[in-house]
Structure 1
Amino acid sequence: MKHPTAMARSVLLFLWLGCLGLGFAQAQTNAAVWGYKVKPGDRLIDIAKTYQKSPEEWQKLQQRNGVADPKRLVPGKQLQIPVSDLKQGNPVAEAVLVHGDVQRLDKSGQPAGKLSSGDILKMGDTLQTAARSTLTIRFADDSRMLVTEKSTITMTSLLNYGKTGMADTKVQVHNGGTDSQVAPQKGPAARYEITTPAINLAVRGTGFRIQVDGTSGNTRTEVGEGLVAGTAAGSQALIAKGFGIIAEPGKPLGQPQALLPPPQLQPSPDTIGKLPALFAWQALAGAQHYRLQLLASVQGSDAIIVDEVLQTTQVQWDDLPDGDYVLRIRGVDATGLEGQNAVQPFQLRTKPAPPELALPSDGQHGAGTKISFRWKPAPEAHTYRFQLAEDADFRQVLALVPNIAGTTHAVLLALPQGLYFWRVASVTPTGLIGPYSDAFRLTVQGDTQKED
């Protein structure tokens, strides 16, 4: 993607900032109007009850919109309601997922109580994540913010305008990082803004990351989706998808810089049946090192359980619990800007553990009227699932036998001479099928005959 030219940037920035309302007084926001499209059967008094602070002022709404009969509205007509007259919901957000140690801070910056998943957040709340801890926040318009480890933020504004779907969300990031997925902002009062010591950022539906240095206040902004408008020290910038910017307190913004592309991940299975889990990627030109994040799915949200910088191009985990994960890898350039993510979702399913195969041993040659396959009992197994194939990847399965009780299975098929592969999985009493064992090879010398 090409970044906008200087002239195009100026035009886009003017229009974008105008839409966002950056730099305008609250009085101008209140002077804006929200449009409601009349539906069949609507009555003016019901609309006023649903959306206005003072439903009894429906006559004022009638006069403003030139409505002749408040009980017989024309479907499709746009009613104009001043934002200042709109009903407001509770100014709150929700901590949908707390991973690790996350604290509310009092006005002096001291811990005032540990945060838990499901807790309600209010305007003015200051929150702090400890090392190896993250917080996922859901706002009134369903926008979400993932707060990374060692971060401090304050909920500056959590206004929402009831059933209009508009929300005015402002978050101050003192230090640390956030990753925002912002719902499309529709309506004159809809905003999502982040402020840091170095830059003010505003969006109307996008995905972007920021990282604030707690000592210098320097702020990195990296845009993964959509557009982000930034203002700082009298300067303005429009940051497009695939671009980033570094802001310093008190200094004008420079030009956005192209982010590194995502690294190329080596192929890996979507489901991993045994540890260690190994992932590798190709070296990326321009990358000084790599940011690796491992996200685990918890209660329907993703928590960052690993967040580290690597000099190598591979990572291995020996002790992950079973679960659903997302691996994110991105290159970091010489300026410190972090590039676009390479993303690999995967499932880890190591339980119930497969049995240890016994006979025929791996690579054994067999012949005769019947071949017996044996394996050792697995502690979590209630029954077993047997597969025989003519290829090591088990794309051509010749025999699949489920619900085997015991540790012996006799193949009752006539097998021509050739190379075969066999493996066994454990099955729990509830029917959960675990990963298959490593396959053993079997060479049949001469045909076996079907047993009578």
Structure 2
Amino acid sequence: MTLRASLTCCLLFLVALVCGAALAPDRALAQQPGGDDAITYTVRKGDTLITLGRAWLIREGDWKQVQRINRVADPHRLPVARKLILPVRLLKFRPASASVAAFRGDARSAAGGGGLQAVTMGQSLGEGARVVTGPASSLSLALSDGSVITLPSNSALQIARLRKLLITDSIDYELALESGGVRSRVSPFRNRDDRFRLRNPIAVSAVRGTDFRTHYDAQQGQARAELIEGGLAISGPAKTADTRLVAEFGAVIGKSGGILVEQLLPPPALATGGGKQRNPMLAFSVEAVPGARAYRLQIARDSGFVDIVGDVSSPSPAFVTDALPNGNYFARFTAIATSGLEGMPGTFTFKRRLATATQGAAAGEDGYVFRWIGTGDGLRRYHFQLRTQDTPNLVVDEAGLTGSSIILGDLPPGRYMWRVGTTTFTPEETDIDWTEFESFSIDE
């Protein structure tokens, strides 16, 4: 290459370098501290670094840090519409709060480094608080913006950041999942600077108005995220580009930073258990889902599953759970894939109507005594029926009984079948439920 050609190449390189820097100032800014720990502020007429420091920074003199980060030559002059990167740690804020919306079993909280204590309904928790659930327990927290987070059994979470930034009037929430799982139903953001992040030791999930679940297994060093609806961006320990999930997909994050994305299993279809549950124990079954290694059932009093009263897993699509008081409930079923990802939920309603439990029949001084127990709310009336075993014809058919027993005399020898129906009168409905027929014998 000739000397003239070399000089020409050098000149072109310098021109390109200068022009590139002049035409792309945002690229230089992007190299400064920012991301999750900073916001971008648009300069308005009359703004200076001095006035911004006085109005919006915790320490007024920290405008010098803002000057250094953004390479501002004159702190008294800022072009209108210029973008400034402002570290969140420097900004004034108003504390937000979380309140206990529902809990069951062993749910505890600690604040300010104190010991764990049992939570109470409506209890307010602030930044730095820690919450823990034990076996067969759950806890739901309502945040100031209307978002709800729910911890299942054996989970621990810390409220790392819970504040509203004054400069942008935006929320800045960060939750740290230590172990177990959490379901987050995040209210749609009203401000472009709103931020909601959920961390665990190996991954960060950033959301914008969504419904998702997060799990962390310390023993396996593995995290999982499942997106029900909305949008979710996940960053692993390798600090590579975010992995973005769309609805009905999940991700498994290993401690080495690898992220495996797969589609979530579909919601199981209910086979039995809908309608009314009359037996002492609750029983449900769902249709088997191809690819599932286990199934999960949650029961709640509300459709949003804030007030959870039951949470069980099963290796088969059949469930038998503990008894519940009479009432109307919601059941939510999911299928769990071999990867550990929990699938899309299928929600169904059912009614709990354990109206009577029979206690058998016995011979008494005045005849044969048939007893039962009535349970549930509302006014109750009982209907007693007796027939022989070999014919459907009723020997006794007494309705409108108010007591919990009936005495029958002069019954001839033979084998009988009897049952009790309960009519419950409540403000919501008038309903009748029958026990199964039970056998009773009178010897000659």
Which TM-score tier does this pair reach, normalised by the shorter chain? 0.5 to 0.7
- Normalising by structure 1, we get a TM-score of 0.62
* Structure (1 or 2) with the larger CA radius of gyration: 2
Q: How far did residue 118 of structure 1 move?
A: 0.8
Q: How far did residue 430 of structure 1 move?
A: 8.2
Q: How far did residue 260 of structure 1 move?
A: 0.9
Residue 101 (structure 2) aligns with: 96
Q: How far did residue 275 of structure 1 move?
A: 4.2
Matched, 1:377 2:409: no
Indicate how the Cα distance of structure 1 residues 360 and 374 shifts in structure 2: closer, same or farther if over 3 A, else same: farther
Q: How far did residue 95 of structure 1 move?
A: 1.6
Matched, 1:31 2:41: yes
Question: Does the CA-based 8 Å contact 1:208-1:225 persist in structure 2?
Answer: yes
Indicate how the Cα distance of structure 1 residues 130 and 267 shifts in structure 2: closer, same or farther if over 3 A, else same: closer
Residue 239 (structure 1) aligns with: 245
Question: Does the CA-based 8 Å contact 1:380-1:428 persist in structure 2?
Answer: no
Question: Does the CA-based 8 Å contact 1:95-1:135 persist in structure 2?
Answer: yes
One-letter amino acid of the counterpart of residue 181, structure 1: R
Residue pairs, 1:69-80, within 5 angstroms? none
Separation in 2 of the partners of 1:429 and 1:218? 50
Question: Does the CA-based 8 Å contact 1:357-1:437 persist in structure 2?
Answer: no
Runs of 4+ with deviation above 6 angstroms: 82-87, 162-165, 429-432
Q: CA RMSD in A?
A: 4.1
Offset from partner CA, 1:184-208 (integer Å, 9 cap, x none): 1121321111011111101111111
One-letter amino acid of the counterpart of residue 262, structure 1: P
Question: Does the CA-based 8 Å contact 1:227-1:238 persist in structure 2?
Answer: yes
Residue pairs, 1:130-279, within 5 angstroms? 130-160=134-164, 166-232=170-236, 233-235=238-240, 236-254=242-260, 256-266=261-271, 268-273=273-278, 275-279=280-284
Residue 120 (structure 1) aligns with: 124
Question: Does the CA-based 8 Å contact 2:100-2:123 persist in structure 1?
Answer: yes
- Larger relative contact order (CA 8 Å, sep ≥ 6): 1
Indicate how the Cα distance of structure 1 residues 221 and 356 shifts in structure 2: closer, same or farther if over 3 A, else same: same
SS at match of 1:302: coil
Residue pairs, 1:15-26, within 5 angstroms? 24=35, 26=37
Separation in 2 of the partners of 1:347 and 1:23? 52
Unpaired segments ≥5 residues, structure 2: 1-32, 45-54, 58-77, 355-375, 408-418, 438-444
Residue 292 (structure 2) aligns with: 287
Q: Give the number of the structure whose residues are more often strand, by fraction.
A: 2
Question: Does the CA-based 8 Å contact 2:56-2:166 persist in structure 1?
Answer: no
Question: Does the CA-based 8 Å contact 1:175-1:217 persist in structure 2?
Answer: no
SS at match of 1:307: strand
Separation in 2 of the partners of 1:222 and 1:348? 31
Matched, 1:435 2:441: no
Residue 71 (structure 1) aligns with: none
Percent identical residues = 23
Between the two proteins, the alignment pairs up a number of residues equal to 332
Indicate how the Cα distance of structure 1 residues 191 and 117 shifts in structure 2: closer, same or farther if over 3 A, else same: same
SS at match of 1:200: strand
Question: Does the CA-based 8 Å contact 1:132-1:305 persist in structure 2?
Answer: no
Offset from partner CA, 1:169-196 (integer Å, 9 cap, x none): 1100011100011111121321111011
Offset from partner CA, 1:155-178 (integer Å, 9 cap, x none): 111112589874211100011100
Offset from partner CA, 1:361-384 (integer Å, 9 cap, x none): 796459xxxx99424834489xxx
- Normalising by structure 2, we get a TM-score of 0.64
One-letter amino acid of the counterpart of residue 377, structure 1: L
**Aligned residue among 345, 350, 355 for 1:346:** 350
SS at match of 1:324: strand
